[in-house]
Amino acid sequence: MKKPTKIVRAGLSKKRNGGVVNTPIVRASTVVFESVAQMRDSYERVTKKREKVLSYGRRGTATHWTLQEALTDLAGGADTVLTPSGLSACTLAILGCVKAGDHILVSDSAYEPTALFCGGLLKSLGVETTYFDPLIGAGIATLMRPNTTLVFCESPGSHTFEVQDIPAIAAVAHKHGAKVAVDNTWASPLFCRPLALGADLSVEAATKYIVGHSDVLIGAITGTEEAIAGVHKAAGAIGIATSPDDAYLATRGLRTLSVRLNQHQQNAWTVAQWLLAHPQVKRVLYPPLPGDPGHGLWKRDFTGGSGLMGVVFHRTSPAAMAALIDGMELFALGFSWGGFESLVAPSNPARQVKPWAEPTPGIRLHIGLEDPEDLIADLDQGLARFRAALA
């Protein structure tokens, strides 16, 4: 089946829902049993065999299973663990692969809170992190140590947009016995399948495109059998649980992912072309553009581009950037992205390996589902304010 078909059909089960199309919201903490034997049996089936049967609300209900099955199918993995946010999906994916004394490699393009987790809590648990240049490719071999157990990528980075060579990185990591996890939020499972490129875990901040409506926080980790077993163990130990209401909304959002993302892509392309021709703009960081340094890898490994891009200016200042953003009519200022609406945010990439070489601050745009002509008119006025504030 093609991906748009899978997006609509994956996880749907006539049997589970008694004919109702969408799995209803099944809320539960306590589940009651007929006998001690049944209680023991369901506990063992869930915890040891990871079967999707009712045991206790924290371990999931039919509402979660529908989303898990759909995401597993789309990502091409063995199973999916849901988490209460995208950030917790990143941190749990890491925790599922490490123990005290281990060393991990993290792309310098990683979302800043993921890096803060590595430098903070993870460090205090005895796991060391080294950052790598996102463009390192097979050169990652030089950073591998005997105790390296994980390479964590975010491709493309959500502020700097470098595409990482996952097949090359995975080949090296696997040779050294390490796993590879990829934060795949920019592409979503519609436009990239990291597991098919050799990764062991594919991480989604489903909060963004899968939910698609800026009203739910949820994360998902899909993995190979071996890798996801470690994540399940960590999730069980910590007591990770997601609300069935949120899982329901994420499944509902998922069903329209391909129509939404194709429109985001089309709008983003139109806006990017306009920006490229603007005299204030030095670079548009968007791998689908032929001039983007990541374009070759993007063409090889992705089937589309989403609505998130960076804009680098020839000359900039914090005051000019604020003048641009503060007066926007359509582009709202806020954290996150991936909803139906357009957003703008300041961009000051924090790097560990080598400083970000472009003038800062830049801006990051999320191109929503509005008409691109209206978005361009808003940006045109914003860039006029920007130019006036620079003068």
Ligand X SMILES: Cc1ncc(COP(=O)(O)O)c(C=O)c1O
**Residues annotated catalytic, as ranges:** 58, 111, 183, 208
Please tell me whether residue 182 binds ligand X under the rule CB under 6 A.
no
Please tell me whether residue 249 binds ligand X under the rule CB under 6 A.
no
Structure tokens at 210: 């899968």
Binding residue for ligand X, selected from 46, 54, 94, 111, defined by CB under 6 A: 111
Site for ligand X in 123-152 (CB under 6 A): none
Please tell me whether residue 158 binds ligand X under the rule CB under 6 A.
yes
Q: Is 378 helix (H, G, I), strand (E, B) or coil?
A: helix
Pick from 132, 203, 202: nearest CA to 172: 132
Site for ligand X in 88-107 (CB under 6 A): 90
Q: How far is the CB of 207 from ligand X (least distance, A)?
A: 3
Please tell me whether residue 87 binds ligand X under the rule CB under 6 A.
yes
Question: DSSP character for 391?
Answer: -
Q: How far is the CB of 47 from ligand X (least distance, A)?
A: 27
Site for ligand X in 20-49 (CB under 6 A): none
Please tell me whether residue 201 binds ligand X under the rule CB under 6 A.
no
- What radius of gyration do the chain's Cα atoms show? 21
Please tell me whether residue 183 binds ligand X under the rule CB under 6 A.
yes
Q: Is 160 helix (H, G, I), strand (E, B) or coil?
A: coil
Cβ–Cβ < 8 Å for 111, 135:
no
Structure tokens at 309: 């891009």
Please tell me whether residue 83 binds ligand X under the rule CB under 6 A.
no
Please tell me whether residue 81 binds ligand X under the rule CB under 6 A.
no
Q: How many residues bind ligand X (CB under 6 A)?
A: 14
Please tell me whether residue 69 binds ligand X under the rule CB under 6 A.
no
Please tell me whether residue 343 binds ligand X under the rule CB under 6 A.
no
Cβ–Cβ < 8 Å for 221, 194:
no
Please tell me whether residue 63 binds ligand X under the rule CB under 6 A.
no
Contacts of residues 49-53 at CB distance under 8 Å and 24 or more positions apart, as own/partner, are 50/79, 50/232
Rounded Cα distance between 69 and 280, Å, is 46
Please tell me whether residue 347 binds ligand X under the rule CB under 6 A.
no
Determine the interface stretch with ligand X among 8-16, 79-87, 130-138, 377-385 (rule: CB under 6 A). 79-87
Q: How far is the CB of 343 from ligand X (least distance, A)?
A: 11
- Taking CB atoms, the residue at the shortest distance from ligand X is 86
Please tell me whether residue 217 binds ligand X under the rule CB under 6 A.
yes
Strand 103-107: give its sheet, edge to edge.
Answer: 79-83, 219-223, 201-204, 179-183, 148-154, 103-107, 128-132
Determine the interface stretch with ligand X among 56-64, 82-90, 134-142, 166-174 (rule: CB under 6 A). 82-90
Pick from 386, 387, 390, 388: nearest CA to 323: 386
> 183 vs 200, which CB is nearer to ligand X?
183
Pick from 95, 345, 334, 305: nearest CA to 207: 334
Pick from 102, 112, 113: nearest CA to 230: 102
Rounded Cα distance between 83 and 239, Å, is 10
Enumerate binding residues for ligand X (CB under 6 A): 85-87, 90, 111, 154, 158, 183, 185, 205, 207, 217, 219, 336
